[in-house]
Amino acid sequence: MITSKTKIDNTTYEVEFTASAEEFQAEKKRIFRKEAGKYNVPGFRKGKAPMNVIERMYGSVFTQEAVEAIYSKTVDAAVDEFGEEVVDVNSAEVVSLEGEVKFKSKFIVKPEVKIEGYKGLSVEKAEAVVNDEDVENELKRVQERNSRKVNVDDRPAETGDTVEFDFEGFCDGEAFEGGKAENFSLKLGSGQFIPGFEDGMVGHSIDEEFDVNVTFPEEYHAEELAGKPAVFKVKIHKIEKTELPELDDEFAKDVSEFDTLAEYKEDLKSDLLRKAEEKAKDDADNKLIDQLIDLVEADIPEVMYDKKVDENIRDFDYNLQMQGMNIDTYFNYTGLDMDSLRGQFRDKAIHQVKLRLALEKIAELENIEVSEEEIEKAYDDLAKNYGVELEQVKNIVPVDGLKKDVAVEKAVDVVRDAANYVAVKPEEAE
């Protein structure tokens, strides 16, 4: 139960709240029953000593744990009772253990937002244009995707070949960590290795052993190697060249539902035009969003940005794991650390927080309502996107949060529908 709240600034309150003596003692007894067996007390069988005897000998072990447990329950109840949307709670402090337990914490609340002029925003939208060169470039990409690798044994490696080889790197005559591999595959000219390495492999043949001399870049992530010369001892095992299929009617039949190359190229042009129109729309919407964010007036607490950064990093780590990596491995490869990664996500988090606040305020000003049918559709979409059962999604995703998400999406439509899109040539668009 909240007993007092004092406003410190626009988004921070100092709040005192209590748990009853009965609740605290019940929690303390529960912990005692669970933990008493851990303590040896002379004259008592293990687990049979009274609570006060154990605490006299070992200190307030049950009291401390009971305080932590009852705080978690009590602060959640205080947040629900508070009356404003609390975005963070910090500075937990025990004020009193006399009778009822009194706590004091700082509650950070969502800021009051002011936004005007969100209807009738003017934004440039590039015309969707596709020319013959675009079609030919897309056709080449399809041709490359349908290429095949052919073993080469009658000539040295050339730029564009894929080479399988062993290598070991040495700096100042010593082998360095991470500089050795066997049967490594690399497309020469891809720029995957440090400058000079791939060029140094051109002109060498299968089973040939040779040295490649390079210099590590000054900004190389491993400081002990940055800017230093190195020698890689290399042996090539296999060379493959890429063989492209002929661009003719047979190619069109193989890669599409069309019988002729001319028909297939027309279909490519239509698809490219559709994608260009989608990109033009997305680009215009992004410009619209940027204008919308600039209209936000709010005293936004830093913790909201920090929490969004945390959320983005969790998503980033999850995506790395889906690729067979984790964030620690990523740090090893890139030379980054958590502080620098958080810095990279900072601007994105600010953008996301301001946009969400803007759209929530617009939803409020426009009295946007969300129907039961829209909620059901949102749940159904989530279930399909994640490939899980509908009921499982409903158990995980709170309906109130989902309702806000749907309202925010409808607020975007309000801004978009009222915007003035100005058509410009692609080269004139910002």
3-state secondary structure 311-348: HHHHHHHHHHHHCCCCHHHHHHHHCCCHHHHHHHHHHH
Spatial distance between the Cα atoms of 423 and 273, rounded to a whole number of angstroms? 16
pLDDT of residue 219: 82
pLDDT tops 80 at residue 165: yes
Contact criterion met (CB below 8 Å) for 303 and 108: yes
Please indicate, yes or no, whether residues 238 and 356 belong to a single structural domain of this protein. no
Name the β-bridge partners of 9. 12
Q: Is residue 158 one of the residues assigned to a domain?
A: yes
Domain end point (choices 243, 264, 283): 243
pLDDT reading at 244 higher than 80: yes
DSSP codes joined into one string, 66-116? HHHHHHHHHHHHHHHHHSS-EEEEEEEEEEE-SSSEEEEEEEEEPPP-B--
pLDDT category of residue 224 using cuts at 50, 70 and 90: confident
On the question of pLDDT at 201 being above 90, the answer is yes
Residue 277's CB is within 10 A of a number of other CB atoms, namely 16
CATH code of the domain covering residue 85: 3.30.70.1050
Looking up residue 320, the CATH number of its domain turns out to be: 1.10.3120.10
| CB-based contact 75:92 (threshold 8 Å) | yes
Mean pLDDT of 312-340: 88
Whether the predicted pLDDT of 212 surpasses 90: yes
How many angstroms separate the Cα of 102 from the Cα of each of 32, 74, 120, 215?
21, 10, 52, 65
Q: Does 81 share its domain with 198?
A: no
**CA dihedral for 306, 309, 315, 317, sign (positive or negative):** negative
Q: Give the model's pLDDT for residue 64.
A: 85
Q: Are strands 229-243 and 209-215 parallel, antiparallel or unpaired?
A: antiparallel
Confidence band for 430, pLDDT divided at 50, 70 and 90: low
Taking the C-alpha atoms of residue 338 and residue 60, their distance in angstroms, rounded to an integer, is 37
How confident is the model over 7-20, as a mean pLDDT? 93
pLDDT band at 428 (very low <50, low <70, confident <90, very high): low
Determine phi and psi for 315, rounding to 5 degrees: -65, -40
At 391-417, the pLDDT tens digits run 898 898 899 889 999 999 999 999 999
Residues 162, 271 within the same domain: no
Range of lowest pLDDT (26-30, 69-73, 168-172, 220-224): 220-224
Average predicted confidence (pLDDT) for the chain: 91
Last residue in a domain, options 213, 243, 273: 243
8 is a domain residue = yes
For residue 133, being part of any structural domain is answered with no
The predicted model gives 170-187 an average pLDDT of: 89
**One domain for residues 262 and 390:** yes
* 128 falls within a domain: no
How far does CA 419 lie from the centroid of its chain? 30
Indicate whether 158 and 273 sit together in one domain.
no
Residues 247-258 have pLDDT tens digits of 999 999 999 999
Is 327:320 a contact under the CB 8 Å cutoff? yes
DSSP conformational letter for 151: E
Q: Answer yes or no: is 127 within a domain.
A: no
Range of the domain at 167: 148-243
For residues 18 and 97, give the distance between their C-alpha atoms in angstroms, rounded to a whole number: 10
What's the CA gap between 287 and 268, in Å, rounded? Answer: 28
DSSP state of 194: S
Q: Can you spell out the DSSP letters for 369-409?
A: ---HHHHHHHHHHHHHHHT--HHHHHHHS-HHHHHHHHHHH
Do the Cβ atoms of 408 and 112 come closer than 8 Å? no
pLDDT of residue 393: 87
Instruction: Identify the pLDDT of residue 179.
Output: 86
- Residue 98 pLDDT greater than 90, yes or no: no
**In terms of domains, do 235 and 290 share one?**
no
Confidence of residue 326 (pLDDT cuts 50, 70, 90): confident
CATH number (domain holding residue 187): 3.10.50.40
On the question of pLDDT at 298 being above 70, the answer is yes
Q: Which of 100, 168, 108, 45 is nearest to 307 (CA)?
A: 108
297 has pLDDT over 70: yes
State whether 363 and 408 are in the same domain: yes
Q: Other CB atoms closer than 10 Å to residue 240's CB: what's the count?
A: 17
Q: What is the pLDDT of residue 58?
A: 81
Same domain, 224 and 265: no
Report pLDDT for 429: 64
Q: Which tens digit of pLDDT belongs to each residue from 99-133?
A: 889 999 999 999 999 999 999 999 999 999 999 99
Q: Which two tokens stand for residue 194?
A: 């440090």
Q: Which residue has the tokens 């529960």?
A: 30
Which regions of 194-252 does DSSP assign to beta strands (E)? 209-215, 229-243
Instruction: End-to-end CA distance of the chain: give it in Å, rounded.
Output: 55
Domain boundary among 78, 109, 140: 109
Share of the chain above pLDDT 90, in %: 65
Kindly indicate the confidence band of residue 302, based on its pLDDT and cuts at 50, 70 and 90: very high
Average pLDDT over residues 64-90: 91
Choose the most confident range, by mean pLDDT, from 56-65, 168-177, 407-416.
407-416
String of DSSP letters for 243-291: EPPP-SHHHHHHHSS-SSHHHHHHHHHHHHHHHHHHHHHHHHHHHHHHH
If you search the block for the tokens 């447990």, which residue do you land on?
69
In a domain, 138, yes or no: no
Neighbouring-strand partners of residue 83: none
Residue 218's φ and ψ, nearest 5 degrees, are -60, -30
For residue 115, being part of any structural domain is answered with no
The residues, ordered by sequence, that sit 6+ positions from 65 with a Cβ below 8 Å of its Cβ are: 31, 35
Q: State the total domains in the chain.
A: 3
Tokens of 322: 């889906």
Which pLDDT score is estimated for 135?
Answer: 95
